[in-house]
Each structure stands twice: as C-alpha cells, then as structure tokens.
Chain A
Amino acid sequence: MATYLRKPVDFLKIFAIYFIFLCCSCYGSVDDSFTEELYIKSLERGHVLNHFQFTTLWNSSISDENTFKNYRYFPKALGDVLATYKVQELHLSQSQGQWDYEHWGYQPEDAPPGVELWVWFQPQASNLDQVWAELVNALSGLFCASLNFMDSKATVSPRWSFRPMGLASEYYSFDSRLMRYSALPREIVCTENLTPWEKLLPCETQAGLASLFNGVKMYDSSFHSLGLHVRPVCQDGDCTKEGIELKQTLSVVFNPVNNNRGNIQDHQNWSLKSMFDRSLHKTCPVAKFSKLYVDSTLHPRPKMLLTPEPDEVLNTRRGGDKRVYAVYDLRQHTRDSVPFNLQASYNSRVQYQDVTPPPLYAQRFVTGYGLEKGGISCILYNNLDTNLTVIYMETIPWYLRVYFSSVHIEAYGVTIKPYKTQFNPGKDRKLPHQLEVVFRLRPLSVTKISFEFDRAFLKWTEYPPDANHGFYVNSAVISTMLPSGQQYTAVPQNGSTFSDSLKDETIQFFLRLHTESLLVSLPTPDFSMPYNVICLACTVVAIAFGSLHNLTTRSFRAVDPSKMKKGLIDKLKNLLKWKKAEEVKDNEEKDEKKDTEDDTDSPNVGENTGTAARKRAKAPSDSSEEKS
C-alpha cells in the first residue's frame, strides 16, 4: 500500500520541480552565458604569456532599468555599481610591471603600469563630475584599490583617444564630455586586489580556470595585469538587440628560464604545474565552454612539443599573419577527475638574439637635469612599410607645467607638422595638463615627440609621506590602426570570446599602446627642518640671549670676602693664607708688644682684622650714605 502510494507522490514531486524550473526560466528570465578561456603563448627570450579571459554575455540592455533586478552569472556587486551610476562602458585595468613591446609583441588587453579606469556614461546621465567622484569611491571599495585618488586633479576627458568599444548611437561617441579617463601609475596590485576580482566570477576559485590562480606564483612574474571590461554588444549577428558583455581578463608573463630563484634552465620548458604550482582539476560547471589555446606557430626558433596532444589544431591567418593554434577542450580533459597539466617541451635552447619587432612600439623618458625644468620625450618606431597615423595622448599632472609651444615632433631632423592637436592646459591643484596630438609616422622610421615643463613648488602639506621617492607621470597612450595583424592578439570589436579572435576576418586592427610611466623628482623640502630650526632657535635663545639678559639686568653689590661661603679648595687655600697671616701677625705682635704694653681688643687676630676690616668697610658706606 505504501509503495503504491509513493509512486504518484514521486511523480508529483518531479513534476512540481520541473514546473517550478520552467516557471523560473520563463519569468524574468535572466539569459546570460559564461565562458572561460586560457591563451598561452611563448614569447621571445624565454618568457611565457598566460592570458585568462572570463566572458559573461547577457541578453539585456545596459540602459534598461529592469536589467539589474535579476542576476544569474553577472555579478551583483558590479551590476549595482553600473546601474546606480548609469554607466554605459567601464574599463578598469590593474597591472604591475612593464610590458616589453619590442620583444613580446602586443598584449591581448593593453594595460599601463598601475591602475587605469575609463568610463563612458549613458547619454541621460547628468552632473557627471559628481557621479564620477562617487563611482571611483564605489569601485575603490569593490576592488580594494585607492581609486578614490582619481579626483579632478587626475581625471581628463580625451577627445579622440578613447572612443567607446561597444555599441554607440550616432553621435554619442563624439561627445567626450560623457567620458572620463584617469590613471594612477603608483597603485600596486597584489593578492588583495585579486581576491575581490575573482569573487566576481560565477565559480570563484572553486572550479574552473580560476582555480589555477596562485598569488605566490603570479606575483613573482615579469608582468601581471587584471582587467575588467563592460560594454554593450550585439546579441546576435544581425545586431538588432543590445546585450552586455563583461570580460574579466588576467594576463601574467612568467619566465620559466630564469625565474628569479637563481636556477637558470636552458630550455623554455613550461607546464601549468611549474607556472602556477597547480593543475586543473575541474572546469566551471556553469561555463558554456572552457578552452585552452596554445600558440604553436612555428617561427624560426625551437620547436615545441605539447603533452597531452591537442584536441584540434587550427591554422589561421590574421591580417596576413599566419598562426597555428593548438586547442584543448578542458571539459573533456577533466571529465574523469584526472588533473589536467599541460606540458610543453622545446627541443633546443632559448635563443637570445635580435627579434622581429612589432609594427609599432614606443619608448618614453624624462629629459633634462636639475629640479627646475625638464622635458619628456617619446620615440616611436614604425616598422611597417606604410604610413601610420597615430593619436598620441599625454596626461601630465599640474605640478609639471607643460609649455605647449615646446611640443616638437621630428624624424631624422625633419620637423613633422601634426595633423590635429588638442591641448587643455592644467590648472594648479585642479586639473592636469592634457595633450592629444595626431600625426603621421613615415614608413620604417623613428619619430620623436618631445616637450618641456617646469617643476612647481608644492605646499609643504601637499607632499606625500615619502616625498623623496618622486612623483609619477601617467603613461602616454598611443592609438593607431594597423594594416597588418602581426603580433596582434586582441579580441576584435565585434567579437566577445577569445575564440572570436581566431576567426577574425578584419583587415584593419585597432591598437592601443601604453608607454612607460615616469618618475619625476620635484624640489622637495627637508622635512626635518622645522625640528632643526626649533632646536637651533631655542639653543640660541637660551645661550646667547639668556646670558646677555642676565648680565645686563643683574645688580651687583660688594660682599665681604671672609663672610663668603667657600668651597673646600678655597677653605684649604684660606687655611694656608691664614697660617701665613698668623705668622705675620705674630711677628707684628711681637714687634707691637715691644712697643706697647696692653691690648684690650679681642685676642684673636682674625677677629681683630675682621673688625678692623668691617670698620674700614663701614666707613665708605657711611660716607656714601651721607652723600646720598
């Protein structure tokens, strides 16, 4: 009887669950998908790039109010910030280290050293200065970084350099008042920034590629960068509906050949275990796919052997650049709970030789000497055989007062006239200097752009606690359109996941480069001087003034020397003197006795002389009294 009854109950239960599931998926359905990918590329001189990309695509519009009411894979913490501050696009990168463009090519997501944040707001947002200030505060709490220092002194609105990367209506991207850009080159990136970043992922670090994240290994690398990019994208091919793309990227460049521990290997052999100290046990169950791509393009350099064998080998071309990718479907490899550890071994040694440089790269440095003036020069190398138009953007803090008249572009001694220039001079303590110059680079040329500045005196309260370290200047941003896809690894604009970059058919590639950030000394006061001055002044006052004051204001009176209290030495001296005086007196008395018969005065000679002396002493005072 009981078993007979159980069956319909079970059936009801299952039906109820299914029904609820259906209803949930129908009602306010949050239609988003999550993918995770890892791209590994071996770079020149023994380095290995690991680029993680976690992409969440949400079929809902960012400007719609109802979007941020129900969440599934998209992190709520970030969604709240985007909704409150009416953000259309948000790009945040936190990096440490300098990307070596000349030897490593281009980054999949370009990032300057330190923190960089640029945001496009929705067209209906108003009072943007206030909104920006609140947004950076909210993000500083979310990412444990000091983003609250991105105030008006460090924020600019570039006109040409940072166009929206996502969907934009007709004239939206022309209005640069709707965007803000700021960078803090001083910010460090450490596990405290990785922790909140990885908590935004659906699987966090419990499963998936994020379980490889090991701070102790990742921060012991040549370069590492965290990125977070939100933008509106097309939901499908015919682009009639808007969706939101959230891309979280992490790039880390290891050096297996010389990993700072003193042991140098000859071969560039690497494995996931040797780089991250962990192997992959499980992929994220909610990911649509979980893939690993290894760039195994054969250059004239050591041939690489991968273990285990790749699932697929893709031969692609990107803008004329031939590439070979080994693709692994990680879900298959971790299916039987066997840990996945990809190993690569090379058949010959690392070659340290001249490399083919990328089409465009730049170097920037401070010029000049002393603490009064200075200059900044940037050298751009164009290795293509065609002209290249670049937009060069600089953000200089207000205390390095830039002379716009000194902006000078030249190549091989020939001055180049810029096509367009935009210069916003800075205001002391309010705005930084902003320079955007558009000019053309000749084929296969070296061009130098330079300008001069004066160093300002800061008020003594404006110096940071470690003032003698120096002050940082933001990286310059160079934007261009490359006709060739050489060394180019970024995801195309109309794609989202990294796999879209493998099928990229475009012929022009938008490139954004960041140069080095600079460290400049300002005339710094000696902060111990107030203490020194107080000590010196007080000493001078005590010794010089004090003693002089005493001398001038002291009243003198004569004192009977015999009545004066004497020290031990003086007493001894007096004893000797007294003995001598006694002898003399005895002799005199003997003489006197011979002369006179009686002496009624006191028998003590000392007293006699004392009374005589007192009488003598009295006399002039009597006389003085009489006089006065």
Chain B
Amino acid sequence: MAAPMAVKKNMNAFKIIAIGWLSILMATSFSKAVDMEDFFTSEHTNNWAVLVDTSRFWFNYRHVANVLSIYRSVKRLGIPDSHIILMVADDMACNPRNPRPATVFNNANEQINVYGDDVEVDYRGYEVTVENIIRVLTGRLPPSTPRSKRLLSDENSNILVYMTGHGGDGFLKFQDAEEISSVELADAFEQMWQKRRYHEAFFMIDTCQAESMFQKFYSPNILAVASSRVGEDSLSHHVDPSIGVYVIDRYTYYALEFLERVEPNSKKTMGQFLQVCPKSQCVSTVSYRTDLFRRDPSKVLLTDFFGSVRNVELLTETMDFSNVTMPQTCSKESCGSQANQESSRPLKYAEQFPMPT
C-alpha cells in the first residue's frame, strides 16, 4: 500500500520536475529565438555598391562629383572598397583643366574633397562601357578579370546601384559613344535575380528623364528612385566660378545633405530617403517605384543599402581546434639545400648594354 503511494508520489514529483525542466528549456529556447531574430532582422548578410558615372569631358564634372559623393557616403557608412565597384568615365581630379589638382568638389565652398586621399576606381576611362556594366552586373566576366573588378554578390547581398550621366527617354548615354537602354538594364537585373545575385537592390539614377530607366524593371525586390519624370530634365545645382563648371546635380546634392547626417547606426528609413528633394528644391519631380519591393520602404533602414552589415558576435568561451599536421616547413638549417640553392659559381647580374661601346 505504501509502495504504490510512494511510487505515485515519486511519479508526481517526477512529472513536476519534468514539466519544470521542459518549461525552463522552452523559455531559454524562446529567448534564444528572440536573440536570433535580433541578430538577423534584415535577412541580408553583405552589402555591395555599384556606382557608375557615364560622362566624359570636362564640362561633365558634376557627374563625377555626383558619383564620388555617393562613394564617399557609402564608404563612410561602412562598405569597404572591396565591395564597391566604382566606374568613372573620365578623370576630373588630375585633369589638366582642373585648377585644384587631385580634388573633386561637390560644393562651391570647396570644403569637402570628395575625391579624398583613399579612393580606388575600378573601371576608369575607356573601360566604362555598356558591355562592362552589364558584365559586371550579371557576373559574366572573362576569367582573367581581377577580383576588385568583379561583383561577387550572392543571394544574401543587398546591392546599391547608382548611375549618373546624360539620359533620355529609355536610354542612358555612355561616354558620348553608345547608350544603354532601359530594356537592357531590366534584363540585366532579371539575369541577376535568376542567378541569385542579389537579395534586394536599390537603384538610384540621376539623369534627365530618369524615370524611364526603371519603368521596364520586372524583377522582384528592387526599390528604385529617379531624379526626374519622363519628359522632365534633371537640373544641376550650382556653378563654382573658380573651377568654371557646374559641380553637382540637384537631386544628388539634396540626397547628400540627407546622407551626411546619417551615421552607421542610424535608424533613418528608406521611406524618408525617397522623400528627399521635393519639387520645390529639385525643380524636377523625384519619382520612385516600390511595387517590386516586398517590404514597406518606411520600415527599411537606410543602412540596409548604404551601409554595411557587420554582425559581430563576441564569444566569451574559448574554442579548441584539433591539431592539424602541416607539412614540414623549412627552417633555415634543414632546408638550406632546397630553398636557397647555392650555385657552384657566383651568380652574375645581366649585362645591361649588349653592344660594344
């Protein structure tokens, strides 16, 4: 009689203990789940930027200033040079006509040198062609292309694509010699989607009739903004009399004003960025396209595209690695015969001038 009672008691106790353990486990797992959610809120793991200036010649100084301003912002917010493809079609900084060599300014007060002293241009001069931009986006580059000229994005990458130059209804002019059409660009983005080369893309374009360039997009997860509608011209902002050319375009100028106040840990949203430069400031109407983008832009952080995701987790416990046997590396004594072959006779320098003097 006592035994079954005792067993029952034990069983009860056991049940209580088991339920207690389970609840503790579940609580911890839930909290862990919360931690994981905080860890991966935006679903992308790396950021890339493709910044293109398509104009050649000195009087298109402002387009180079545009693209270098965005380059500067993007670098400041965390995207490293290895993840930025910068294409500049002409050299303005060291142009013989530049009265301030090695500088490109985006403002007549000449306070910020957007060219800076740490700039790496990947495609320059004659290399900025329609073929190269399509190849970079789709990844179909010749095997000898170096790593810094490749867009090595994957399905977890957020890509910012910024293009500036002279454009028209349905095309963008490259270097006064050729043009890229909106259909080509839409197809390039579709190729990127099919090859899983982006998670989300933000397409920004500052040219005349810029809206026409993104009207033909049909791939998902693209948020696009353009500086002007079809039929409107995008205007430049102001001229720098000491340099003699217009130094920045209106849309990029106001976009930059917005971006200069953004820090890497900022909570500003893309929705706020899309409202930059109303018609009173820009004269042209800034238009954007959100139907292909599945998230609400007002809930998307600006740094999802302009900054770089660097999720770092600090571990407090030590980790043990198993011993890996490496092939015996040579120390000076043991591998003297192999490494530094002592020749039987002394080595000689080549004769520089092979002719009798």
With the chains together, A584 CA to B168 CA distance in Å? Answer: 68
Can you identify 13 A-B contacts, CB atoms within 8 angstroms? Answer: A26-B332, A61-B341, A140-B146, A163-B351, A163-B352, A173-B350, A189-B94, A214-B117, A216-B101, A216-B117, A219-B94, A419-B355, A479-B352
Residues of chain B lying within 8 A (CB to CB) of residue A216: 100-103, 113, 117
Contact partner, A465, options B101, B126, B340, B341, Cβ 8 Å: B126
Determine if A29 and B352 form an interchain contact, defined as CB atoms under 8 angstroms apart. Answer: no
Contact partner, A464, options B113, B120, B126, Cβ 8 Å: B126
Q: When each residue 461-495 of chain A gets 1 if its CB lies under 8 Å from chain B and 0 otherwise, what string results?
A: 00011100000000000011101000000000110
Q: How far is the CB of A484 from chain B (nearest CB, A)?
A: 13
8 additional A-B pairs beyond A173-B354, A493-B349, beta carbons within 8 Å, are A61-B341, A140-B146, A168-B349, A195-B119, A216-B117, A241-B340, A438-B355, A510-B353
Q: How far is the CB of B18 from chain A (nearest CB, A)?
A: 45
Report if A432 contacts B (CB, 8 A).
no
**CB-CB nearest in chain A for B148:** A141
With the chains together, A215 CA to B354 CA distance in Å? Answer: 40
Q: When each residue 119-151 of chain B gets 1 if its CB lies under 8 Å from chain A and 0 otherwise, what string results?
A: 111101111000000000000000011111100
Determine if A191 and B116 form an interchain contact, defined as CB atoms under 8 angstroms apart. Answer: yes
Report if B317 contacts A (CB, 8 A).
no
Residues of chain B lying within 8 A (CB to CB) of residue A138: 144, 146
Contact residues, A118-176 vs B (CB, 8 A)? 133-134, 137-138, 140-142, 144-146, 148-149, 160, 163-169, 172-173
Residues of chain A lying within 8 A (CB to CB) of residue B101: 216, 219-220
Q: When each residue 314-347 of chain B gets 1 if its CB lies under 8 Å from chain A and 0 otherwise, what string results?
A: 0000000000000001111001001111110011
Report if B313 contacts A (CB, 8 A).
no
**CB-CB nearest in chain B for A239:** B346
Residues of chain B lying within 8 A (CB to CB) of residue A66: 329-330, 335, 338-339
Q: How far is the CB of A238 from chain B (nearest CB, A)?
A: 6
Q: Assess A218 versus B102: contact at CB under 8 Å? Given A141-B146, A168-B349, A465-B126.
A: yes
Q: Assess A137 versus B102: contact at CB under 8 Å? Given A163-B351, A195-B117.
A: no
Name the 6 nearest CB pairs between A and B, nearest first.
Answer: A141-B146, A168-B350, A190-B94, A219-B102, A28-B329, A465-B177
With the chains together, A479 CA to B125 CA distance in Å? Answer: 32
SS class of chain B's interface: helix, strand, loop or mixed?
A: loop
With the chains together, A164 CA to B350 CA distance in Å? Answer: 6
Report if A188 contacts B (CB, 8 A).
yes
Determine if A508 and B357 form an interchain contact, defined as CB atoms under 8 angstroms apart. Answer: yes
Q: When each residue 42-72 of chain B gets 1 if its CB lies under 8 Å from chain A and 0 otherwise, what string results?
A: 0000000000000011000000000000000
Determine if A191 and B355 form an interchain contact, defined as CB atoms under 8 angstroms apart. Answer: no
With the chains together, A180 CA to B148 CA distance in Å? Answer: 24
Report if A225 contacts B (CB, 8 A).
no
Determine if B339 and A60 form an interchain contact, defined as CB atoms under 8 angstroms apart. Answer: yes
With the chains together, A169 CA to B344 CA distance in Å? Answer: 13
Determine if A466 and B176 form an interchain contact, defined as CB atoms under 8 angstroms apart. Answer: yes
Report if B175 contacts A (CB, 8 A).
yes
Contact residues, A222-257 vs B (CB, 8 A)? 234-235, 238-242
Report if A42 contacts B (CB, 8 A).
no
Report if A75 contacts B (CB, 8 A).
no
Contact residues, B244-303 vs A (CB, 8 A)? none
Contact partner, B119, options A28, A31, A166, A191, Cβ 8 Å: A191
Determine if A196 and B348 form an interchain contact, defined as CB atoms under 8 angstroms apart. Answer: no
Q: Assess A479 versus B339: contact at CB under 8 Å? Given A26-B332, A133-B144, A216-B113.
A: no
With the chains together, A29 CA to B118 CA distance in Å? Answer: 33
Q: Assess A60 versus B340: contact at CB under 8 Å? Given A190-B94, A191-B115, A216-B113.
A: yes
Report if A385 contacts B (CB, 8 A).
no
Report if A431 contacts B (CB, 8 A).
no
Interface range, A side: 35 or more
Report if B155 contacts A (CB, 8 A).
no
With the chains together, A169 CA to B351 CA distance in Å? Answer: 11
Q: How far is the CB of A568 from chain B (nearest CB, A)?
A: 37
Q: Of residues B118, B341, B355, B356, which shows the largest number of chain A Cβ atoms within 10 Å of its Cβ?
A: B355
Q: When each residue 334-365 of chain A gets 1 if its CB lies under 8 Å from chain B and 0 otherwise, what string results?
A: 00000000000000000000000000000000
Residues of chain B lying within 8 A (CB to CB) of residue A391: 353, 355
Q: How far is the CB of A224 from chain B (nearest CB, A)?
A: 10
Residues of chain B lying within 8 A (CB to CB) of residue A187: 125
Report if B91 contacts A (CB, 8 A).
yes
**CB-CB nearest in chain B for A492:** B349
Residues of chain A lying within 8 A (CB to CB) of residue B342: 240-241
Residues of chain A lying within 8 A (CB to CB) of residue B331: 26-29
With the chains together, A134 CA to B145 CA distance in Å? Answer: 8
Q: How far is the CB of A564 from chain B (nearest CB, A)?
A: 42
Report if B93 contacts A (CB, 8 A).
yes
Residues of chain A lying within 8 A (CB to CB) of residue B144: 133-134, 137-138
With the chains together, A149 CA to B127 CA distance in Å? Answer: 9
Q: How far is the CB of A95 from chain B (nearest CB, A)?
A: 12
Residues of chain A lying within 8 A (CB to CB) of residue B147: 141
Q: How far is the CB of B309 from chain A (nearest CB, A)?
A: 24
Residues of chain B lying within 8 A (CB to CB) of residue A214: 117
**CB-CB nearest in chain B for A439:** B355
Residues of chain B lying within 8 A (CB to CB) of residue A29: 331-332
Q: How far is the CB of B106 from chain A (nearest CB, A)?
A: 16
Residues of chain B lying within 8 A (CB to CB) of residue A169: 347
Q: How far is the CB of B257 from chain A (nearest CB, A)?
A: 25
Q: Assess A137 versus B146: contact at CB under 8 Å? Given A59-B340, A190-B93, A239-B346.
A: yes
